[in-house]
């Protein structure tokens, strides 16, 4: 009789889809890439906190905040640019540029966005710095983590979380200043007279920053953010990534072993410094991983070890998989500039720059006069006692200049038709009407158009011409409905 197959542990135990969170106690490191990270972090935080307080003089009729998303008046201000709701394609264009820009950066320098400029990275870095200031570097933090809870540990934790909370509050608090005049809202906020939505927004953003930056950290990058998956799909063998040159580093062994057995060991002395400094707690020597945000701190750490042991730098370095293979065969590494400017990145750059130039051209040539029309649908027309036909329209006259302007509204096409508005007598109807539109404002006008008895269904247009030096104009197509054509 055959013996039963032994049951292996793997067959018996269900595979867990949940990996227990292991806290990361990364060591402080100094080096070229760390200094670049400091500079980018400082720039990102400064831009975020300072921008709402910058002023920009737009005259007496528009807000003087340089960057403002004015939800109440449905405007977006960015320095000298003012975007109206009907010009939302500019914002759509900027979002498309941001998306293609991310593709461009990923194809050129891998996950540089994740490693240097992503808000999750920047705020995690800031919180980790607070950890170091309060609890000390890696070993001290680990000892404190393992220590039993007592008054000293509780006091440290409370103090540190209070700092986390202050940073989170400053982060959430700054966000609302992008949506209203910052000095006014600041005063209203602290006097308790701001809108409830302002307090709600600050509360939600404070709590999310506290949780994501203070506690979840690399978990957001590894498990929550979709971007690493998208980027992984976009990387190819020519993409720059942080690479451990295993052909040079293996077989690993301590300095002592290497000295005792010359020629048997590679350059990696297995000191684990690259792991100790990693903000996501991974070991790059195990190959490219989704947890690697390519912050390059392991390069700084390993370069320092190489310098101390008298070996050439670059055991861990920015390299493409293709280049690493070539290096392994003894070829010199390709210059990074050459790797960055390859056909794929050039195509992304061309598309990105093309959209940017297109937007700039449209911005430079856009007119500051706009008319839009909505026709009455019920009833579509009214038969007048003299046999003529009347249609009703609601027109919006937009004056996008910071001064009042006279605007002449006219009818183009529709022979014999005249128009009048609710605030004038029908006898005064004509083919043109003049309205004065307030600065930076929209005037809503109810217009009645009446056409002679035998008029059929047809298209026509309303024209709007701003008077003054510029004489800008705009046209809006409209439909005229008449009986007997349904
Ligand atoms: S820092 Fe360099 S030498 Fe040390 S373990 Fe990492 S790869 Fe090896
Ligand atoms: S492995 Fe290196 S590059 Fe990747 S996240 Fe860790 S320290 Fe940064």
Residues 364-379 have pLDDT tens digits of: 888 899 999 999 998 9
- pLDDT score at 233: 81
Residue pair 444/396 in contact (Cβ under 8 Å)? The answer is yes
Q: Cis omega (within 30 of 0) on the bond before 85? A: no
- pLDDT score at 1: 40
Residue closest to 339 by CA, chosen among 322, 314, 361: 322
End-to-end CA distance of the chain: 90
Q: What's the rounded Cα separation, in Å, for the pair 479 and 458?
A: 6
293 CA to centre of ligand 2 in angstroms: 6
Q: How many CA atoms lie within 13 A of 128 on its CB side?
A: 25
Would you say residue 14 has pLDDT above 70? no
- pLDDT score at 22: 81
* In the chain, domain spans: 32-233, 236-334, 369-480
- pLDDT score at 13: 54
103 CA to centre of ligand 2 in angstroms: 20
Atom 4 (ligand 2) nearest CA: 292
- pLDDT score at 193: 97
Residue closest to 119 by CA, chosen among 293, 255, 272, 274: 293
Ligand 2, atom nearest to 283 Cα: 1
Is ligand 2 within 6 A of the CB of residue 65?
no
User: Structure pTM?
Assistant: 0.84
Residues 399-458 have pLDDT tens digits of: 998 889 999 999 999 999 999 998 899 899 999 999 999 998 999 999 999 999 999 999
Would you say residue 294 has pLDDT above 80? yes
- pLDDT score at 18: 66
12 CA to centre of ligand 2 in angstroms: 35
35: CB partners within 8 A, 6+ apart: none
Q: What's the rounded Cα separation, in Å, for the pair 463 and 278?
A: 63
Instruction: Work out the percent of the chain whose per-residue pLDDT is above 90.
Output: 72
Would you say residue 178 has pLDDT above 90? yes
Atom 8 (ligand 1) nearest CA: 268
Place of tokens 């500019």: 90
Q: What is the dihedral of CA 114, 118, 122, 125, to 10 degrees?
A: -30
Is ligand 2 within 6 A of the CB of residue 124?
no
Q: If you average pLDDT over residues 188-208, what whole number do you get?
A: 97
Q: If you average pLDDT over residues 173-193, what whole number do you get?
A: 97
- pLDDT score at 273: 97
- pLDDT score at 12: 55
- pLDDT score at 38: 97
The shares of helix, strand and coil residues in the chain, as percent rounded to the nearest 5, are: 45, 20, 35
Q: Which two tokens stand for residue 296?
A: 């390059």
Place of tokens 């050039």: 346
Q: What's the Cα-to-Cα distance from 166 to each of 121, 169, 198, 220, 338, rounded to whole Å?
A: 18, 5, 17, 21, 45
- pLDDT score at 322: 86
Q: If you average pLDDT over residues 43-55, what whole number do you get?
A: 97
Q: Average per-residue pLDDT in the chain? A: 91
Q: What's the rounded Cα separation, in Å, for the pair 319 and 238?
A: 9
Would you say residue 11 has pLDDT above 60? no
At 86, is the pLDDT very low, low, confident or very high (cuts 50, 70, 90)? Answer: confident
Residues 457-469 have pLDDT tens digits of: 999 999 999 998 7
Would you say residue 321 has pLDDT above 50? yes
- pLDDT score at 109: 85
- pLDDT score at 7: 43
Residue pair 85/74 in contact (Cβ under 8 Å)? The answer is yes
Please give the sequence-ordered ranges of beta strands (E in DSSP) within 185-281, or none if there are none.
241-244
For domain 369-480, give the CATH superfamily.
Answer: Immunoglobulins (2.60.40.10)
Residues 211-244 have pLDDT tens digits of: 999 999 999 998 899 988 888 888 888 888 899 9
Q: Which two tokens stand for residue 191?
A: 């006097």
Instruction: Work out the percent of the chain whose per-residue pLDDT is above 70.
Output: 96
């Amino acid at each position: 009789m055959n013996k039963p197959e032994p049951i292996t542990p793997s067959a018996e135990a269900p595979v867990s889809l949940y990996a227990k969170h292991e806290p990361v106690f990364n060591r402080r490191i100094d080096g070229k890439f760390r200094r670049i990270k400091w500079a980018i972090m400082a720039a990102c935080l400064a831009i975020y906190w300072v921008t709402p307080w910058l002023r920009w003089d737009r005259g007496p009729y528009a807000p003087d905040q340089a960057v403002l998303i004015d939800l109440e008046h449905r405007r977006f201000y960015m320095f000298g640019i003012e975007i109206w709701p009907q010009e939302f394609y500019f914002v759509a264009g900027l979002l498309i540029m941001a998306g293609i820009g991310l593709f461009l950066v990923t194809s050129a320098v891998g996950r540089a966005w994740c490693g240097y400029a992503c808000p999750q990275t920047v705020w995690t870095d800031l919180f980790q710095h607070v950890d170091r200031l309060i609890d000390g570097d890696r070993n001290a933090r680990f000892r404190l983590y393992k220590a039993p809870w007592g008054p000293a540990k509780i006091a440290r934790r409370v103090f540190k979380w209070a700092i986390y909370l202050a940073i989170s509050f400053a982060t959430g608090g700054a966000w609302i200043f992008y949506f209203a005049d910052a000095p006014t809202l600041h005063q209203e906020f602290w006097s308790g007279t701001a809108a409830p939505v302002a307090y709600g927004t600050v509360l939600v953003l404070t709590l999310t920053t506290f949780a994501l930056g203070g506690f979840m950290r690399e978990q957001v990058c590894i498990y929550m953010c979709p971007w690493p998956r998208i980027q992984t799909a976009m990387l190819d063998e020519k993409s720059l990534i942080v690479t451990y040159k295993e052909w040079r580093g293996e077989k690993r062994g301590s300095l002592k072993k290497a000295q005792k057995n010359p020629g048997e060991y590679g350059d990696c002395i297995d000191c684990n410094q690259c792991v100790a400094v990693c903000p996501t707690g991974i070991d790059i020597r195990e190959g490219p991983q989704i947890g690697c945000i390519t912050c390059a701190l392991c390069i700084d750490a390993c370069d320092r070890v190489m310098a101390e042991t008298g070996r050439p730098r670059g055991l861990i370095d920015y390299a493409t998989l293709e280049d690493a293979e070539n290096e392994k065969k003894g070829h010199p590494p390709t210059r990074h500039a050459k790797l960055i400017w390859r056909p794929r990145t050039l195509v992304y750059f061309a598309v990105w720059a093309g959209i940017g130039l297109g937007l700039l051209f449209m911005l430079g040539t856009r007119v500051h006069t706009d008319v839009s029309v909505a026709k009455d649908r019920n009833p579509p027309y009214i038969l007048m006692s003299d046999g003529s036909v009347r249609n009703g329209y609601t027109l919006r006259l937009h004056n996008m200049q910071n001064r009042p302007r006279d605007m002449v509204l006219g009818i183009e096409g529709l022979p014999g038709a005249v128009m009048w508005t609710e605030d004038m007598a029908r006898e005064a109807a004509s083919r043109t009407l003049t309205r004065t539109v307030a600065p930076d404002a929209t005037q809503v006008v109810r217009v009645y158009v009446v056409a002679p008895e035998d008029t059929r269904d047809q298209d026509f247009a309303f024209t709007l011409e701003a008077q003054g030096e510029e004489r800008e104009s705009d046209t809006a197509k409209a439909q005229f409905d008449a009986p007997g054509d349904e």
